[in-house]
Amino acid sequence: MVQFNGDLLDRIEEIPVEPWLEEDFIKVANKGAEKLSIIFPKELLNQCHETCFKSIGVLQEILKEICISAKILERQKVLTTISINPHLQNALNKKAEDYLVRHQRALEAIASGNSNSSTSSQQGLLPLFLHYYLIRVILESGYEGLANGMKRATLQTKIKDIHHRPDGVRASDMSNLLYHLAELQNIKSITPPIIDYDRNTKYLQIVDSTFYFFLKNADLSEIIEELPSPLD
């Protein structure tokens, strides 16, 4: 907020609600279980915690799908214990499918970039199409490469390694790409945004926790193959 409205400097204070600890997740799950008169086994909750990437929202979605898989649609007359199999896997498959549709469309939209800038060329050369290469690097790096963010220098090196004009990828071009990521996602109606660049730390970061789930569970190689290339 301060970045886009400098008048707020020294006038607001951030109150973080994170990190969510494992005991917090269990409290949320048990509160819902009590309302439904069901029991989530400890092993089930532990596995849910490991797959939600510290996101309480993702945890709630997984638990909801577990209940739907187990036919728990209202408060039970008799206290019921929910088994892990096959309900946990059913829930993970359902959320992976849901997130795949949304995030694949978002990545394709970002990769297409700004039509005004993508069509420009210099001295008869093909445009840089940096948004496309950015998405390529994200998909090729996967969860392990982006779990803690990616340094700007690393990102530029990775883009140059696969770029059709590596010598043309300048620092100024990278700045133009990264500084306008939030604006581009807003234009493309990607809400909430999935990635952003922190100018202070110089890191590309994931800002939508469901995107972690997507990177961990989707077939990224298949998505890369389906990603429309501006070079074709």
- Count the neighbouring beta carbons within 10 Å of the beta carbon of residue 150: 21
Q: How far apart are CA 214 and CA 194, in angstroms?
A: 11
pLDDT for position 138: 97
Task: Report the pLDDT value the prediction gives residue 118, as an integer from 0 to 100.
Answer: 46
Burial class (CB in 10 A: 0-12, 13-18, 19+), 14: exposed
Candidates 107, 97, 98, 119; CA nearest to 188 is 107
pTM: 0.80
Q: Mean pLDDT across the chain, nearest whole number? A: 92
User: Which segments of the chain have a pLDDT < 50?
Assistant: 117-120
Report pLDDT for 115: 61
Residue written as tokens 């789930």?
A: 213
Max CA distance (Å), the chain: 75
Question: Tell me, what's the pLDDT at 116?
Answer: 52
Distance of CA 174 to the CA centre of its chain: 21
pLDDT at 123: 63
Residues 151-205 have pLDDT tens digits of: 999 999 999 999 999 999 999 999 999 999 999 999 999 999 999 999 999 999 9
**pLDDT in the model for residue 3:** 75
